[in-house]
Amino acid sequence: MPLPDKYRPEKFDDIILPDDIKNQIKSWMDSWMRHEETKKALILYGTQGVGKTTLAGVISRCYNLPLIEMNGSDQRNRENMKKVALMAAEYRDLFNYEQNYPDRIILIDEADNIFESRDPAKGGDSGGISELLEIIKNTLNPVILTMNDFYEFKRKSSAREIISLSISMEITPYKKRSERNYHIYIQKLLERLKYIASNENIKINDSQLMEIIKKDEPDMRATLNDLELYRGGNNAEDAYRDEQESIYYVVSKTFKSGNYNDIINSLYAINGDTDFPGFYMQWLAENAGMEYKNPEDLKNIFDILSQADIYYNMRIRDYSLSSYSMEIAGGISFEANERNEHYVKYNFPAFIKNMSSRKGNTERYNIQTVLEKLALVNHMPSNEMAKYLWFYKFIKKHDRKLFSDIIKILEITDKEKNALE
């Protein structure tokens, strides 16, 4: 299980935030439990990865109330908002209808991504915000909204009335690095990471932990993802972190720069081997949805990435095709009509993160990487390929030359080769 999921906070004491923020949230929930609420909703806003959705889960667990969630992957139009959120907000459990306290919490995740578009061709959440306002006005249960860009949300129709019915709180461990809260936060975060590293048998010193903290804070998700890269304790991870920092820069340039030659020059400046384009495309695929919201733009971008992936997978036959894939992927932003001009903090690709976590079990990791390489040339999923692994073991035993050719073509390492014993 990835570290951000395994060590997700379960109670308020687990959350590294100033006490005044946690106390305000508790006061708001306590007013609901006493049926004395004056504000119907709680708006939690802040940078991505700071823990807004996690905080909503903690509130749910601490008050023993189920969390009814509608997130950014759902189409939040008028009808769907009615079906999901409105029913949950306006109705109570039939067996506890007479009670004065709520029986659930409603979470509208990424509420700043709801926009009013009456044109279905634009793929908008038609009527979503105005319907959200009605939900908050009439709710019998507490409503929590999370947002990355609170100030952008304020400009939308009906948003100001929603805000007037809500308590708005910026979720941040500190305001300025010169204040006392910053030093308290860094110390508590260091203690938390040392505990996790010890518990997971990750060999890392305080200096390395501080490097992670300084780069990623206050994004707790990114912090734990980077800590996971040290699992196994080998020096190769240091080079991998340097490559990650470089890839972050070139991914941002790919999405935002209008100069194709500049993008390509940056790519070749950090391209170290034939596997780099795949690494690069994983970053693009993971974060394209954060940079582009127009469905047509996303379709065009993933069409380009699909074409690039075809060339990348053909690198086994011709290494030069690996560079072609990178150059194709580098032009994805030119297929988008609506570019995002705001700052975006990118997510580490889930696929690479999962592969990294597998390294804790070396044998399992080597078997999985062999299966994925064999699956690629056999045009089947790796889990299906596992059924035919015996065939390659048979070749290894009875035809050494053929097996040696397969090893060379698929770039199977010595450790991976041992998995075929």
Q: Give residue 339's pLDDT.
A: 73
398/77 Cα distance (integer angstroms): 62
Tell me which of 49 and 286 has the higher pLDDT.
286
Instruction: Report the run of H or E that residue 108 belongs to, with start and end.
Output: strand 105-108
The count of C-alpha atoms lying within 13 angstroms of the C-alpha of 282, restricted to the half-sphere facing its C-beta, is 16
Q: Give residue 169's pLDDT.
A: 95
Q: What is the DSSP letter of 407?
A: H
Domains of the chain: total: 2
Q: What is the mean pLDDT of residues 99-120?
A: 73
In 244-377, DSSP assigns E strands to: none
Of 170, 188, 206, the residue at which a domain comes to its end is 170
Residue 130 included in any domain: yes
- Neighbour count for residue 418 (Cβ, 10 Å): 13
Q: Using the predicted structure, report yes or no on whether residue 52 has a pLDDT greater than 70.
A: yes
Residue 190 included in any domain: no
402/32 Cα distance (integer angstroms): 71
Q: What is the mean pLDDT of residues 50-68?
A: 92
Q: Using the predicted structure, report yes or no on whether residue 116 has a pLDDT greater than 60.
A: no
Q: Using the predicted structure, report yes or no on whether residue 362 has a pLDDT greater than 60.
A: no
Q: What is the mean pLDDT of residues 393-421?
A: 78
CATH assignment at residue 153 = 3.40.50.300
Q: What is the mean pLDDT of residues 13-26?
A: 94
Q: Give residue 243's pLDDT.
A: 47
Tell me which of 160 and 219 has the higher pLDDT.
160
Q: Give residue 271's pLDDT.
A: 54
- Total residues found in the chain within this entry: 421
Residue 52 included in any domain: yes
146/171 Cα distance (integer angstroms): 10
In the structure encoding, which two tokens stand for residue 211, read together?
């490097």
- Best mean pLDDT range from 83-97, 266-280, 320-334, 351-365: 320-334
Residue 29 included in any domain: yes
CB 116 within 8 A of CB 127: yes
Q: Give residue 196's pLDDT.
A: 94
Q: Using the predicted structure, report yes or no on whether residue 365 has a pLDDT greater than 50.
A: yes
In the structure encoding, which two tokens stand for residue 309, read together?
């992936």
CB 101 within 8 A of CB 141: no
DSSP per position, 141-164: S-EEEEES-HHHHHTSTTHHHHHH
Measured between its terminal Cα atoms, the distance across the chain in Å is 28
Phi, psi (5° rounding) for residue 8?
A: -65, 130
45/53 Cα distance (integer angstroms): 10
In the structure encoding, which two tokens stand for residue 142, read together?
């507490």
What is the Cα Rg of the chain in Å? 25
Q: What is the mean pLDDT of residues 291-316?
A: 86
Q: Give residue 273's pLDDT.
A: 54
Q: What is the mean pLDDT of residues 95-118?
A: 71
Give the pLDDT confidence of 236-247 residue by residue, as tens digits: 344 444 444 467
In 149-259, DSSP assigns E strands to: 166-170
Of 170, 202, 234, the residue at which a domain comes to its end is 170
Residue 368 included in any domain: yes
Residue 385 included in any domain: yes
DSSP SS3 for 23: helix
Residue 345 included in any domain: no
User: Which range among 3-12, 164-173, 256-265, 348-357 shows the weakest confidence by mean pLDDT?
Assistant: 348-357
Q: Give me the domain span that covers residue 371.
A: 361-418
Give the pLDDT confidence of 133-178 residue by residue, as tens digits: 888 988 889 999 999 888 888 888 788 999 999 999 999 998 887 7
Q: Give residue 363's pLDDT.
A: 59
* CA nearest to 417, candidates 382, 408, 407, 409: 407
Of 135, 170, 205, the residue at which a domain comes to its end is 170
Residue 198 included in any domain: no
